[in-house]
Amino acid sequence: MSELTGAQILIECWKKEDVKVIFGYPGAATIDVHHYLMTSGLRFVLTRHEQAAVHAAEGYARATGRPGITLVTSGPGATNTVTGLAGANLDSTPILVFSGQVSRMMIGNDAFQEIDIVGITRSITKHNYLVRDTGSLARIVKEAFFIAQSGRPGAVLVDLPKDVLTGTAEFKYPGKIKLQAYQPHLKPHPKQVAKAAELLLSAQKPVLYAGGGVIMSGASEKLLTLAECLHIPVTNTLMGLGGFPGTHPLFLGMLGVHGLYQANRAVQEADLLVTVGARFDDRVTGRLDQFATKAKIIQIDVDPTSIHKRVNTDVPLVADAHQALSAILNLLGKYPNYDRTARRIWLNRIAAWQKEGALEDGPVSTSPAGIKLISPQTVIKTLYEKTKALTPIITTEVGQHQMWTAQYFLHDQPRHFISSGGLGVMGFGLPAAIGVQIARPEALVIDITGDGSILMNIQELVTIVEEKLPIKIVIINNGCLGMVRQWQELFYNRRYSATLLGQGPDFVKLAEAFGAQGFRATRLDEVAPIIEKALTISGPVIIEFIVDQSALVYPMVPAGSSISEMLPYSANPSDN
């Protein structure tokens, strides 16, 4: 068999892994790959910044469950991927970054655009590789794909020296690989399953607390079956939203620092907390020693390090969420025997909390000129009402708009809410939307963003226009870095240091400059019509809403407090 160059081998490996699209940015170190890529039949999406390429790959992966691929050059190309790698890894998203590197003999010489990217990304990837010879490239790519997708998925970086890409070797793609030191544990232990089932049957006040792991493992239906079969209310983490139907009567909404009243109350009163694919993040638990103190805890997680990390678990179940839930359901049978009276009382209590903590539209203030200002919550709510029939896929950036979206925009399906959870990356949503729209060309994809975040990757408007992606970009323009300003208002004496953005650019003109369309709403009565109008446009649109700056995200658990001490919606101090 004739030999291929490393660059050709890489592309053949991608084909074997059924890669359809690669996001990235070229440079000298990867020029050989691009040379062959052009005629390979694979789609290359040229983002305008490598960070955006990684976020787009993550968006693609989160929308499909398939790994997202990024190709960047050495040096600055590689360092620009750091934020994206860290974010994807923290949110357990399978992505692979292929970075160029200087030739092997130049490594260590401070050569032009040489950077030790393997060293830099060691602690923010699931694993990374420096490929040392063309002959091992195929095996390493195979391993990299396997590691990124299996167990708790994550980010993998493969660093490719230029001469490894130009050198030649015989191409043989390994059929199956076994890594002695890496064998994710997917099957639940029957004993633990039995214990979990027993607790589930005897609990009087159970709550299911489900995270991104449910979505990742495709366990949404199993979760729904379990909840319905035992009438257990379900709360989601930010990453878990959509993993349980948002409009289901058993759904409590998101829990945690900006969680809904009924969700936090239920967790605090529960006698059993069934954690599925969630990791007791500090933004979920608030003050840890006062979190769910009355509850026994069952924790299902594929990652053993998630267990007993922050909270001691009564029944740990190291397994894939889908397999674990299936095993539990099998054991419970169709008509399990549990205390139905107790459950009725529990659900009634929850219903009362639900009433007490119902989200409102946000206070409507009037400008000095007598115009009704737009409350940001109303924008999200209206957007939801106007688009829900189309089951849109929502991406967000980070800040108040993200939390309002999590609270007000309901998703009945998994993989429809895509947000940067663990790392909280401003600038994630727009490029992520690119990946989502490319993965799901027919879907309505909306990036809900803030006036701060949108500027962090605004250059991607070019990519969107050139790739003809009909993404709708909703800017909640409150003239500030709202989430930080909120903390200043509540805890720092209203000293708005470095958070007021002023007018900012003219987003409508900016959209036009990039070749998209833009609309702006400044009054409450313009909200619905402008959304309707944007939906009729087949190309990319920016819809800017100038909203009341004083709106705050409630409920809110102050830092260091228990989630029982949340400031309810009615605490809104800016009502005056």
Ligand X SMILES: Cc1ncc(C[n+]2csc(CCOP(=O)(O)OP(=O)(O)O)c2C)c(N)n1
Task: List CB contacts of 284: < 8 A, sequence separation 6 or more.
Answer: 237, 255, 256, 257, 259, 278
Q: Between 51 and 275, whose beta carbon lies closer to ligand X?
A: 51
Select the span of 224-232, 407-415, 480-488, 568-576 touching ligand X (CB under 6 A).
Answer: 480-488
Report the DSSP beta bridge partners of residue 315: 298
Could you give the string, one character per residue 411-450, with x where binding to ligand X holds by CB under 6 A and - elsewhere? -------------xxxx----------------------x
Amino acid, single-letter form, for residue 561: S
Q: Between 39 and 123, whose beta carbon lies closer to other proteins?
A: 123
Q: Minimal distance in Å, beta carbon 307 to other proteins?
A: 8
Binding of ligand X by 259 (CB under 6 A): no
Binding of other proteins by 185 (CB under 8 A): no
Binding of ligand X by 469 (CB under 6 A): no
* Footprint of Mg ion on 468-487 (CB under 5 A): 478, 482
Amino acid, single-letter form, for residue 496: Y
Taking a C-beta distance cutoff of 8 angstroms, is the pair 166, 4 a contact? no
Strand, helix or coil at 211? coil
426 touches which of Mg ion, other proteins, ligand X, none (CB within 5 to 8 A by kind)?
ligand X
CA–CA gap between residue 273 and residue 74 (Å, rounded) = 47
Taking a C-beta distance cutoff of 8 angstroms, is the pair 373, 547 a contact? yes
Helix or strand holding residue 225 (H, E): helix 220-230
Sheet containing strand 127-130, edge to edge, reads 43-46, 21-24, 68-72, 95-101, 155-161, 127-130
* Footprint of ligand X on 209-238 (CB under 6 A): none
Binding of ligand X by 399 (CB under 6 A): yes
Q: Minimal distance in Å, beta carbon 439 to ligand X?
A: 24
Taking a C-beta distance cutoff of 8 angstroms, is the pair 78, 115 a contact? yes
Ramachandran category for residue 41: left, alpha or beta (phi over 0 → left; psi -120 to 50 → alpha): left
Q: Is the bond leading into 555 cis (omega within 30 degrees of zero)?
A: yes
Q: Minimal distance in Å, beta carbon 107 to other proteins?
A: 11
Select the span of 142-150, 315-323, 329-337, 474-482 touching ligand X (CB under 6 A).
Answer: 474-482
Q: Is there a catalytic annotation at residue 50? A: yes
Select the span of 81-89, 126-134, 395-403, 409-417 touching other proteins (CB under 8 A).
Answer: 126-134
Q: Minimal distance in Å, beta carbon 189 to ligand X?
A: 39
Strand, helix or coil at 235? strand
Q: Is there a catalytic annotation at residue 437? A: no
Binding of ligand X by 490 (CB under 6 A): no
Q: Minimal distance in Å, beta carbon 367 to Mg ion?
A: 18
The single residue among 308, 355, 468, 494 that binds other proteins, judged by CB under 8 A, is: 308
- Catalytic member of 38, 105, 112, 183: 112
* Footprint of other proteins on 138-167 (CB under 8 A): 147
Task: List CB contacts of 447: < 8 A, sequence separation 6 or more.
Answer: 394, 395, 396, 397, 429, 430, 432, 433, 471, 472, 473, 474
424 touches which of ligand X, other proteins, Mg ion, none (CB within 5 to 8 A by kind)?
ligand X
CA–CA gap between residue 438 and residue 433 (Å, rounded) = 8
Q: Minimal distance in Å, beta carbon 285 to other proteins?
A: 16
Taking a C-beta distance cutoff of 8 angstroms, is the pair 421, 90 a contact? yes
- Catalytic member of 50, 58, 460, 544: 50
CA–CA gap between residue 152 and residue 166 (Å, rounded) = 34
CA torsion angle for 105, 109, 112, 115 (degrees, to 10)? 90
Which active-site residues does the annotation give?
50, 112-113, 162, 483
Binding stretches for Mg ion (CB under 5 A): 450-452, 478, 482
Binding stretches for other proteins (CB under 8 A): 118-119, 122-123, 126-127, 130, 147, 179-182, 303-305, 308-309
